[in-house]
């Protein structure tokens, strides 16, 4: 049985969540009406996973999360509003140590909750097995970088050594991630030089209201320029392109130049932006040997099929190893399929990516 602690000041939300997880089976559910009560219950309940509302009177969800990660680290899934403010708060929560988040339905809660139940249960089940010790270290690294940044862009001391070998004239790096992805992206992108010679495209599973704030945060934390793709965008070296949430990110050509486009999400794929669709579209526009795929933490298997094909056609693929991934679903599926050229922990992925160009 998974011990779940539901923390929410709303009696209706508490009742709905208790009913959902009781009916799902495999959960032993306890509730707390406030952040303070949640902290008091940590030792008594000993939860395997917590759902935590961000907006609560008194101690809010962020303050409560901070205390949880200090006093009794535990996988936490935040309950967040689908707004710009909610996105910023949720990303802050992920930096503090939250594993994932649940987006509250937009309409009447009791009427709309059914639409999110399958994803909600899957996320909380997956979060219960997340690797908290590694997540906590990542949060500390993000905080240290943020506290030490005096300029809008990082200082030269953050740059890695120049690439050692000439590169093909045109190529792309394709990155996929889901649960645990934002801090993993910081760890990967934050260790690449600002003159990185190929564009980097990122499919991070998130709602549309979250990917813009994610891009802005990453832009402040790494030497590369980071932007969200909201329309057709010509690709340039030294730039990172984050796929817009609730849509798919695809590679096209515009007047002969490589471009990225946000396109309506495909019903053939469950998660969006779809990593599989990103990689498949890139292989139609760029020779496989000029593509590098990187698959990091996340539940499910998005990206494993397309990156396995990419490797078979001569491309290079990197998978985050089990000892660092918050959830080793997506990269684990790639490894299991024999589609990973290199398997490495998160703190080595940037170096392995740079080494691909010297081989």
Number of domains in the chain: 2
Task: Spot the catalytic one: 178, 274, 321, 324.
Answer: 178
In this prediction, residue 83 carries a pLDDT of 64
Do 202 and 106 share a structural domain? no
Do 55 and 9 share a structural domain? yes
Do 154 and 34 share a structural domain? no
Residue 203 located in a structural domain? yes
CB 310 within 8 A of CB 288: yes
Percent of the chain with pLDDT over 90: 74
User: Domain of 336?
Assistant: 148-356
Q: Which of 130, 164, 194 is where one domain is finished?
A: 130
**Across all residues in the chain, what is the average pLDDT?**
87
In this prediction, residue 323 carries a pLDDT of 92
Task: Spot the catalytic one: 205, 219, 276, 321.
Answer: 205
Do 22 and 84 share a structural domain? yes
Do 90 and 168 share a structural domain? no
Copy the structure tokens of residue 241: 């392109």
Do 94 and 239 share a structural domain? no
Q: Which of 68, 99, 130 is where one domain is finished?
A: 130
Do 125 and 176 share a structural domain? no
Residue 68 located in a structural domain? yes
Do 168 and 122 share a structural domain? no
Task: Taking residues 50-60, report their average pLDDT.
Answer: 94
For residue 312, cis peptide bond before it (omega within 30 degrees of 0):
no
In this prediction, residue 63 carries a pLDDT of 95
Task: Spot the catalytic one: 53, 186, 276, 302.
Answer: 302
Residue 141 located in a structural domain? no
Confirm whether 269 is a catalytic residue: no
Do 161 and 102 share a structural domain? no
pLDDT greater than 80 at residue 192:
yes
CATH number of 284's domain:
3.40.50.180
Copy the structure tokens of residue 338: 């024999």
Percent of the chain with pLDDT over 70: 86
Residue 136 located in a structural domain? no
Copy the structure tokens of residue 27: 């959960």
How far apart, in Å, are the Cα atoms of 33 and each of 12, 38, 108?
11, 7, 21
Dihedral over alpha carbons 332, 92, 147, 68 (to 10 degrees): -80
Do 195 and 344 share a structural domain? yes
Do 159 and 111 share a structural domain? no
pLDDT greater than 70 at residue 223:
yes
Residue 140 located in a structural domain? no
pTM score, two decimals?
0.85
Q: Which of 69, 96, 130 is where one domain is finished?
A: 130
Residue 118 located in a structural domain? yes
In this prediction, residue 342 carries a pLDDT of 96
pLDDT per residue as tens digits for the range 246-292? 999 999 998 889 999 999 988 888 889 999 999 999 999 999 999 99
To which H or E segment does residue 216 belong?
helix 208-221
Q: How many CA atoms lie within 13 A of 45 on its CB side?
A: 24
In this prediction, residue 106 carries a pLDDT of 63
CA pair distance 54, 35, nearest whole angstrom:
10
CA pair distance 10, 253, nearest whole angstrom:
50
Task: Taking residues 158-167, report their average pLDDT.
Answer: 39
Question: 300: left (phi > 0), else alpha (psi -120 to 50), else beta?
Answer: left
Residue 266 located in a structural domain? yes
pLDDT per residue as tens digits for the range 95-145? 899 999 988 766 555 556 777 788 889 999 999 999 875 445 344 444 444
CATH number of 42's domain:
3.40.50.2300
Confirm whether 34 is a catalytic residue: no
Residue 142 located in a structural domain? no
Do 226 and 337 share a structural domain? yes
Confirm whether 323 is a catalytic residue: no
């Amino acid at each position: 049985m998974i011990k779940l602690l539901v923390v929410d000041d709303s009696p209706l939300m508490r009742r709905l969540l208790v009913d959902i997880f009781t009916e799902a089976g495999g959960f032993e559910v306890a509730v707390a009406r406030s952040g303070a009560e949640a902290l008091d219950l940590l030792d008594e309940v000993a939860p395997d996973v917590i759902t935590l509302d961000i907006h609560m009177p008194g101690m809010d969800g962020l303050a409560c999360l901070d205390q949880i990660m200090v006093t009794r680290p535990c996988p936490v899934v935040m309950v967040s509003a689908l707004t710009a403010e909610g996105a910023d708060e949720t990303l802050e929560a992920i930096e503090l140590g939250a594993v994932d988040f649940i987006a509250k339905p937009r309409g009447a809660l009791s009427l709309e909750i059914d639409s999110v139940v399958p994803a909600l249960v899957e996320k909380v089940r997956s979060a219960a097995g997340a690797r908290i010790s590694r997540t906590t270290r990542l949060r500390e690294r993000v905080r240290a970088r943020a506290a030490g940044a005096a300029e809008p862009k990082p200082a030269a001391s953050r740059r890695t050594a120049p690439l050692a070998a000439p590169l093909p004239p045109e190529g792309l790096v394709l990155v996929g991630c889901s649960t645990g992805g934002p801090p993993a992206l910081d760890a990967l992108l934050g260790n690449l030089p600002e003159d990185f010679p190929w564009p980097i495209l990122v499919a991070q599973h998130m709602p549309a209201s979250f990917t813009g704030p994610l891009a802005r945060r990453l832009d402040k934390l790494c030497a590369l320029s980071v932007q969200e793709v909201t329309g057709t965008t010509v690709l340039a070296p030294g730039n990172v392109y984050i796929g817009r949430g609730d849509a798919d990110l695809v590679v096209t050509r515009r007047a002969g130049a490589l471009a990225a486009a946000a396109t309506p999400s495909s019903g053939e794929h469950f998660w969006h932006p779809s990593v599989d669709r990103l990689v498949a579209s890139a292989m139609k526009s760029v020779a496989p040997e000029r593509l590098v795929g990187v698959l990091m933490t996340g539940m499910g298997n998005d990206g494993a099929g397309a990156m396995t094909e990419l490797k078979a056609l001569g491309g290079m693929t990197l998978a985050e190893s089990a000892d660092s991934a918050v959830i080793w679903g997506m990269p684990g599926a790639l490894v299991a399929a024999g589609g990973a050229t290199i398997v490495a922990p998160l703190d080595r992925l940037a170096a392995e990516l740079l080494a691909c160009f010297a081989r």
